[in-house]
Structure 1
Amino acid sequence: MIVFDLECTKGHCFEGWFDSIEAFEEQNHKGLVSCPVCGDIHVRRVLSPVALKKGTESAVHSNNAPEAIDYRRLAKEIVKYVQENFEDVGPKFASEALKMHYGVTEKRNIRGSATEEEEKILKEEGVEFFKIPFPKKDDKKTN
């Protein structure tokens, strides 16, 4: 996984996690990357502070620098929280989200999967959702 700093046309900055730069570019080109604040799909990569260099020295040297974030640990914590606090509706995600949106069923925390077409429908209907990259299941590992 690679983490990019992103910005929408309205100036909201956020991070995106992708398998590669090519994966980001493909998803962004298809309009699948959106701002979590406003939903804007016009998103661009911005320079990350760790990528900025000044001559031969990094521009990020500071005695007051905050402690480095362990993104792998953070990602594991997010995944664990979602798994423990959201009902897994699997491929019925879009249908369940629409039912809640229109008051057919009670609102609750759900997680699952949706096709690109289903995601498009959810956006058109005004259903708010966001995607979290879950690690691939490894049957050999037990955690």
Structure 2
Amino acid sequence: MIAFDLQCANGHTFEGWFDDKTAFEDQQKQGLVTCPFCDNRNVFIVPSTFAIPKAVNAPSGPRQSSGLAVGDVSAKIVEFMEQNFDDVGANFAKEALKIHYGVSEPRNIRGVSSPEEEKVLEKEGVPLFKVPLPAKKGTEDA
């Protein structure tokens, strides 16, 4: 599955999940892709703003580094996930299925799952995104 940033002719932006770009195009031709805000069917893919810094009064010379190292970015991602996702631990697959089938309220969750559980989630059509987490400081193996 791939997530595309989409926009309708009225300027509403939203996210859509598809198997690939061809699947999006096929569904769009069939009129199946609509804006969740206004039901407009004139929907198109827009460039993603994820991890693209907005330049304000950018110098015209050589590009300057943002000063963020890979470790800093990883730490920011972890911090975001800890603040915005419920940690369900080893119950990830079970909770994801409950949310998928409407048994539990929709919410962002994080946790761990086995390869077998991930196959079940994929078979059931549950979107899954794996994020490798860096070791916490002081817990690295010596």
Q: Is the 8 A contact 2:74 2:134 kept in 1?
A: no
Larger Rg: 2
The letter for the 1-side match of 2:126 is V
Match of 2:104 in 1: 105
Within 5 Å, give how 1:1-143 maps onto structure 2: 38=18, 63-65=61-63, 67=65, 69-137=68-136
TM-score (norm. length: structure 1)? 0.51
Aligned letter for 2:73?
L
SS in 2 for 1:88: strand
The residue identity in structure 1 corresponding to 2:65 is E
Q: Matched residues in 1 for 2:112 and 2:99: separation? A: 16
Q: Structure 1 residue 109: deviation in Å?
A: 1.1
| Matching residue's letter, 2:127 | E
Counterpart code for 1:84: Q
Equivalenced residue count is: 87
Q: What displacement does 1:72 show?
A: 1.4
Deviations 1:44-100 (A, max 9, x none): xxxxxxxxxxxxxxxxxxx44352552211110010110122111101000000000
Which segments of 5 or more consecutive residues in structure 2 lack a partner in the other structure? Answer: 5-16, 21-60
Specify whether residues 112 and 71 from structure 1 end up closer, same or farther in structure 2 by C-alpha distance, changes over 3 A only: same
For the 8 Å contact 2:86–2:110, the answer to whether it is kept is yes
Deviation >6 Å, runs of 4+: none
* Structure 1 gaps, min length 5: 1-9, 13-36, 41-62
**Alpha carbons of structure 1 residues 76 and 137: separation in structure 2 relative to 1, 3 Å:** closer
2:33 match: none
